[in-house]
Amino acid sequence: MFHLTLSQQAAVTVPVGSDLSLRRSAFKAPNLNFRDKSWAPVLTLDLKANSSCLRSRNVVCMSVQQASVPKVSVSPLELEDAEEPPLNLYKPKEPYTATIVSVERLVGPKAPGETCHIVIDHGGNVPYWEGQSYGVIPPGENPKKPGAPHNVRLYSIASTRYGDSFDGKTASLCVRRAVYYDPETGKEDPSKNGVCSNFLCDSKPGDKIKITGPSGKIMLLPEDDPNATHIMIATGTGVAPYRGYLRRMFMESVPNYKFGGLAWLFLGVANSDSLLYDEEFSKYLKDYPNNFRYDRALSREQKNKNGGKMYVQDKIEEYSDEIFKLLDNGAHIYFCGLKGMMPGIQDTLKRVAEQRGESWEEKLSQLKKNKQWHVEVY
């Protein structure tokens, strides 16, 4: 048994999820006590019998936004044994049928759009590594191929290989609900909404979900040097793989991976209400100030040095000297989010390189050659 201190608010629900029609908890463990002065009496969480949150049975679920104690035991540790990541264990023609554990809205009321955190029970049958993706096949038939199922949508996994319940049986996705508004009327047109993201955000505990994968190697966390520097740049739900990295570095007690390097997260979203997993990241900042840095770019609330909106590339420019020095010393840099993020970032990096008297093309070529450059955009 271990105890978790709940910070500020404690949610009695565990729903979460998000996608762009293309990509990306219940805290489940036997007899966990959540102790906090605001709670009386102490409530016990036992989700072994039923993975959904049932208030009628005094089941208390920890909000996904709560970061737990600094280090949590994980199992089964056999998940550390494989030398190669699992790849494509389940394919579109024979997907794995998993079960939704919870769906929780991650963003506040002033966020444009809805982003959810979705926990899926795969029973330990679809193992994955941090930085990989699952494919999801929404129910129904493909309108372009009558009688055939929908195409697979890829989502970056937002949890470590042990899942949010630390038992290796769940995976979490961070999904933005894709909603289409008619430009002339300004009204929502449900017929053009993202099929998969709406299916995921509308799903309920116990619902079945067809998944494929896991897939992807480009965003795997290199662990050969536990003291390496990892610079992580995300827009919106692109933060998903980094949540997995950071939980592995700072939340979980993994015997063969003791992180002693620097993890630096840049997250670009519209406003404060759109921040994802902010409490979790803020807790790492407090607990590991020498190993974690966290910079937010809020485009609708902050201004860049020229008085324009603050985008993630503006934050990168702000710290460009430091970033370039870290890259020269072997740091890994990751980009994840909408593909529209990359031109602005590349332009910024090119401009900074030129100001430093360097050729960006040569530098980029070297970063790729050294396997320091990791990009997954959609």
- Residues annotated as catalytic are 155-156, 336, 376, 378
Residues in CB range of 129: below 8 A, 6 or more apart: 85, 86, 161, 214, 220, 221
* Residue 358 assigned to a binding site: no
Residues in CB range of 349: below 8 A, 6 or more apart: 316, 320, 360, 364
Residues in CB range of 43: below 8 A, 6 or more apart: 33, 34, 58, 60
Residue type, 160: T
Which pair of tokens denotes residue 218? 């480009």
Nearest-CA neighbor of 18 among 217, 276, 296, 311?
A: 276
* Residue 156 assigned to a binding site: yes
* Residue 309 assigned to a binding site: yes
* Residue 300 assigned to a binding site: yes
* Residue 24 assigned to a binding site: no
Number of alpha helices (DSSP H) and beta strands (DSSP E) in the chain:
7, 16
* Residue 317 assigned to a binding site: no
CB–CB of 158/173 below 8 Å? yes
Q: Which helix (H) or strand (E) holds 208?
A: strand 208-215
* Residue 114 assigned to a binding site: no
Q: Is 191 exposed, middle or buried (0-12, 13-18, 19+ CB in 10 A)?
A: exposed
CB–CB of 258/249 below 8 Å? no
* Residue 176 assigned to a binding site: yes
CB–CB of 211/119 below 8 Å? no
* Residue 75 assigned to a binding site: no
Judging by DSSP bridges, how do beta strands 292-298 and 153-156 pair with one another? unpaired
Which pair of tokens denotes residue 49? 């019998």
Annotated binding site: 156, 176, 237, 299-300, 309, 337-338, 376
Residue set of the binding site for NADP(+):
156, 176, 237, 299-300, 309, 337-338, 376
